[in-house]
């Protein structure tokens, strides 16, 4: 992190500071920091913006997938899916149906890729 001292004041990039702090801190301390921040009204607003709109008002966002997966693996994608499933019984059922269709599509793609390999490389499958 770059710190510039001007007289009796120090200037630094808060964004870099936060990332370095979180990356260089043990898991329990990060959990305590996150727990505290998660209850701050301004933080809640920015997280809700990401979950609902995909972005904060400053156009930032956490890790998110651009491709649908049967089981999301990024925390932001998990939050979106969890809230969507919690919105109603019908939404939950429809999302679960779509998740199953994604699983079936992935299995079909894998099967077709295996068939294509057999066609392209017949010597490998004798």
Instruction: Please list the pLDDT of the chain residue by residue as tens digits (126 residues).
Output: 677 888 888 887 888 888 888 888 899 999 999 899 999 998 999 999 999 998 899 898 888 888 888 888 899 999 999 999 999 999 999 999 999 999 999 999 999 999 999 888 888 876
* pTM of the complete model: 0.62
| Residue 3 belongs to a domain | no
Within a domain: 36: no
The domain tally of the chain equals 1
Residue 37 lies in a domain: no
Among 100, 66, 99, CA closest to 82: 99
What does the DSSP 8-state code read for residue 57?
A: T
Instruction: Supply the range of the domain harboring residue 100.
Output: 65-126
Please check whether residue 100 lies inside any domain of the structure.
Answer: yes
Please check whether residue 98 lies inside any domain of the structure: yes
Enclosing H/E stretch for 125: none
User: By C-alpha distance, which of 86, 108, 105 is closest to 95?
Assistant: 86
| Residue 110 within a domain | yes
**Residue 122 falls inside a structural domain:** yes
pLDDT confidence of residue 24 = 86
pLDDT given at position 5 = 82
Contact 56, 46 (CB under 8 A): yes
Task: Provide the pLDDT for residue 1.
Answer: 65
Q: What is the pLDDT of residue 108?
A: 96
């Amino acid at each position: 992190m770059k710190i510039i001292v001007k007289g009796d004041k120090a200037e630094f990039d808060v964004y870099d500071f936060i990332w370095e702090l979180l990356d260089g801190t043990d898991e329990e301390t990060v959990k305590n920091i996150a727990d505290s921040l998660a209850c701050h009204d301004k933080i809640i607003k920015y997280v809700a913006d990401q979950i609902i709109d995909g972005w904060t008002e400053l156009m930032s966002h956490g890790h998110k997938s651009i491709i649908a997966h049967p089981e999301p693996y990024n925390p932001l994608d998990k939050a979106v899916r969890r809230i969507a499933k919690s919105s109603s019984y019908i939404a939950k059922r429809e999302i679960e149906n779509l998740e199953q269709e994604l699983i079936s599509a992935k299995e079909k793609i894998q099967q077709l890729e295996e068939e294509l390999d057999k066609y392209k490389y017949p010597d490998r499958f004798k």
